[in-house]
Structure 1
Amino acid sequence: MTRTLGLIGSGMIGGGLANLGVAAGLDVVLSNSRGPESLADLVARLDGHARAATVRETAQDAELVVATIPLKNYGLLPADALAGKIVIDTMNYYPDRDGRIDALDLTEVTSSELVQRHLAGARVVKAFNNIDFRRLSTSARPAGAPDRSALPIAGDDPEAKEAVTRLLDVLGYDAVDTGSLADSWRTEPGTPVYVQPYMAERPEGLGAEETKRWFWETPGVPVPAARVRDLVGQAVRRRAQDATTGGTAS
Structure 2
Amino acid sequence: MVRPAVVNLAKRVPLIHFRKGGAGSAAPAGNQQISGTAAKLGHPNCYHHCTILASANKLHLGESLAREPANYISRATASVPSPIRNLVDVNKSVNVAQLRSAVGYEYLRTAATALEDGGRTQMMKQRGFQLINPTEKWFPGIEELRANYSSWDWVIGKTPKFTVEKDLDVKGDDQGMKLKLSVEVEAGLMKEIGIQLPQSEQVVPVVTPLQGKPYNEENLNGIIGALKLVNASNVKQAMNGSV
- Higher Cα radius of gyration: 2
| Structure with greater helix share of residues | 1
TM-score, scaled to structure 1 = 0.21
Compare relative contact order (CA 8 Å, sep 6+) and give the higher one, 1 or 2: 1
| Structure with greater strand share of residues | 2
